[in-house]
Amino acid sequence: MFRASLSIGCLLAMYCASRPVDTFAEEPAVLLQQAGRAAALGDSAKAVTLATQAIEQDPLLSAAYYLRGREHFRLGKFRESVADFDKYIQLRPEQHSRQWERGIACYYAGQFDKGAKQFELYQTFHNNDVENSVWRYLCLARTEGVEMARATLLSIENDRRVPMMQIYDLYRGKLEPADVLAAANAGNPPPDTLSSRLFYAHLYLGLYYEAAGNAELAKKHIIEAADNHKDDTQINGYMWDVARVHAELLRGKQMPERKSQ
């Protein structure tokens, strides 16, 4: 799994730690905290506004760029999201390898080479994540084609989440889409576990079909992931937003309100 995103508490700690005591300003920290609360309540527009105000008062407030990058993505403002993540890693280069959200934003902004490089770098931070390997595949498929993406798929040994290894083998060309769904349903899991499994199965099936040029099946699976798993507490909320944003792009509609975290 992509490692959990930074909490507002971590963001504030990063801010405090990055500023010398004699230059610490309370108001940007308060604005950042308010932005984090707005984000947690699902009000991305307000979170962006507050984060922007914080940045205006302290242009070196790295955590505000990170938070604003995430909320810009949730609003479907992909290029703005990438720009914020770029500024964040400029200010905090030691965090570069962890920025999977930046890689996804690059994909949706059409910056596929940049996205592929981000996922390659993330592999040095966490090398057993099927999602990371798949997103690099998706970026490469856009620029180099599916065959090259498959031939250079990042190696994953044992992502223990079901059905991640089946998704990996699908992208490797070793399994069929039906095998992924069968694995997700196997073992009579409890309803919440089954829902989580099916969310990831449908999301990555949809992305697989899109890379293969099958728009009809891509739309079917991505909308299934977005529409039927909104209240699933076991999935990464940001990944549900990825499905939601993608589904609305496919529908050609304005971005709807998102759920709170």
**Residues 130-149, mean pLDDT to the nearest whole number:** 98
User: For residue 255, is pLDDT > 60?
Assistant: no
Q: Does position 256 have pLDDT exceeding 50, yes or no?
A: no
Each residue's pLDDT tens digit, 11-70: 666 656 666 544 445 799 999 999 999 999 999 999 999 999 999 999 999 999 999 999
Chain mean pLDDT for the chain = 91
Average pLDDT over residues 150-169: 97
How large a percentage of the chain has pLDDT more than 70?
A: 88
Supply the pTM of this predicted model.
0.91
Q: What is the structure's pLDDT at 19?
A: 62
| The pLDDT of residue 254 is above 90 | no
Q: What is the DSSP track for the chain?
A: -PPPPPPHHHHHHHHHHHS-GGG--HHHHHHHHHHHHHHHTT-HHHHHHHHHHHHHH-TT-HHHHHHHHHHHHHTT-HHHHHHHHHHHHHH-GGGGGG-HHHHHHHHHTT-HHHHHHHHHHHHHH-S--HHHHHHHHHHHHHHT-HHHHHHTPPP-S---STTHHHHHHHHHTSS-HHHHHHHHHTT---HHHHHHHHHHHHHHHHHHHHHHT-HHHHHHHHHHHHHS-TT-TTS-HHHHHHHHHHHHHHHT----PPPP-
Question: Which of the two residues, 101 and 10, has the higher pLDDT score?
Answer: 101
Across residues 210-222, what is the average pLDDT?
Answer: 97
Tell me which of 217 and 237 has the higher pLDDT.
217
- State yes or no: cis peptide before 93, omega within 30 of 0: no
> pLDDT of 89-113, one tens digit each?
999 999 999 999 999 999 999 999 9
Between 60 and 7, whose confidence is greater? 60
